[in-house]
Structure 1
Amino acid sequence: MIFGYARVSTDGQSVDAQVKALRAAGAEKIFRETASGAKTDRAQLRRVIAALGEGDTLLVTRLDRLARSTRDLLNTLDAVAKAGAGFRSLHDAWADTTTPHGRLMLTVLGGLAEFERDLIHARTGEGRERAKARGVHMGRPPALTRHQQEEARRALADGSATQADLARRFNVNRSTISRLAT
């Protein structure tokens, strides 16, 4: 069975042209939605993916009707594939998982997206290391100043205050004081 998915971004737009094109291409059941493409949780898209079965096809008029980003597209196509279904876009002939060439193109696209994620991860790590080398503190700021930490350690060492007393005095969690004791 061929399922169509038509989406527009605002109430002022109409899905009629998309529905007509999907019907002409053989879509038997069409799911319509008015939602921003940036929104990844779209009810009708969820419903059409849940309706897909082995050998079915999800059909859209254009890729931008299905996803706003490469990552979103790949996640959606993965869900379609897990349902045992294929995918076709009328205006993007290369985006057709029902043909070997289309599967190849989407595999390459997925590889490029993964490569880009790895590059971003590597660049982020390098930037973090450079910042640490410059003495930039990573993470949350300490709950206690150095002076407060020293004061708490002294009070714990001479027994003049308990961890609970110090936690109340400095308005921090008891585990913050507990970490100073070790």
Structure 2
Amino acid sequence: MGTLIGYARVSTQGQDLSDQLDKLAGAGCKTVYQEKISGVRADRPQLAKLMVKLRPGDVVIVTKLDRLGRSTRELLDLIDRIGKAGAAFKSLGDPLWDTGTPQGRLLSTLLAAIAEFERELIRERTGAGRERAKRDGVKFGPKFKLSAYQRAEALRRRSAGESMTDIARSYGVDKSMISRMR
């Protein structure tokens, strides 16, 4: 068996990690990556370090599932990455979540399939809604900051030699907008 590696996280600086650290030490974790950072943030440096250091046979342990990921998709992606590194994942507070057991692997596989199915349904509904909106005349993309008349006028002024900075200032837009006009 590889190394038992703990991961502890709290969302704010005012919260305390000691309860998680005690439980992870009690589970046999010699190394614990810890951070005080919101789970919503994608840039969790200690989690990134943990993922880089994983070796086949290692077991990543958390006290609760929500310490690893905030969304089901993120959680499943991280568990998948742990598995691809040849390691296992275990949540002390959620006994079914132990990918070192057949039941844990089955649960992960089923939830990943459900998440994939859900993504496909969302993609289909979004596509159908977009097509319906197009049929109804909805225009997609950014809104023009200048009207058609203002764009034509800006092009005439630029052709007449007026500086792009002056033209842009008169319309309250950035000079780059005037320079991109054709």
Could you tell me the TM-score, scaled by structure 2's length? 0.79
Matches within 5 A, 1:132-171: 132-141=134-143, 165=159
| Residues in 2 aligned to 1:175 and 1:33: alpha-carbon distance in whole angstroms | 45
Name the counterpart of 2:84. 82
3-state SS of 2:90 partner = strand
Q: Percent identity?
A: 46
Which residue pairs with 2:28 in the alignment? Answer: 26
Measured after TM superposition, the shift of residue 165 of structure 1 is 2.7
**Aligned CA distance change for structure 1 residues 141 and 8 (closer, same or farther; 3 Å):** closer
Residue 4 of structure 1 aligns to a residue whose secondary structure is strand
3-state DSSP of counterpart to 2:77: helix
Distance between the aligned counterparts of 2:152 and 2:17, measured in 1? 67
Matching residue of 2:50? 48
Runs of 4 or more consecutive aligned structure 1 residues displaced over 4 Å after TM superposition: 142-151, 170-176
1:66 aligns with 2:68: yes
CA distance in 1, matches of 2:15, 2:149: 62
Query: For the residues of structure 1 that align with 2:46 and 2:92, how far apart are their CA atoms?
Result: 19
Gaps of 5+ in 1: 152-160, 178-182
Change (3 A) 1:43 1:174: closer
Pair 1:138–1:22, CA change in 2 (3 A): same
Number of residue-to-residue matches in the alignment:
169
Q: Calculate the TM-score normalised by the size of structure 1.
A: 0.79
1:80-133 residue CA offsets vs partner (Å, 9 max, x unmatched): 122211100011111111111101101111111111111111111111111111
How far did residue 140 of structure 1 move?
2.9
For the residues of structure 1 that align with 2:146 and 2:14, how far apart are their CA atoms? 54
CA distance in 1, matches of 2:81, 2:117: 21
- Give the corresponding residue for 1:124: 126
Does the 8 A contact of 1:40 with 1:72 survive in 2? Answer: no
Counterpart-to-counterpart distance in 1, 2:26 and 2:86: 24
Contact 1:4 1:60 in 2 (8 A): yes
Residues 9-31 of structure 1, C-alpha deviation per residue, up to 9 Å, x if partnerless?
12222111111111111212111
CA distance in 2, matches of 1:173, 1:74: 46
Give the superposed CA RMSD: 2.7
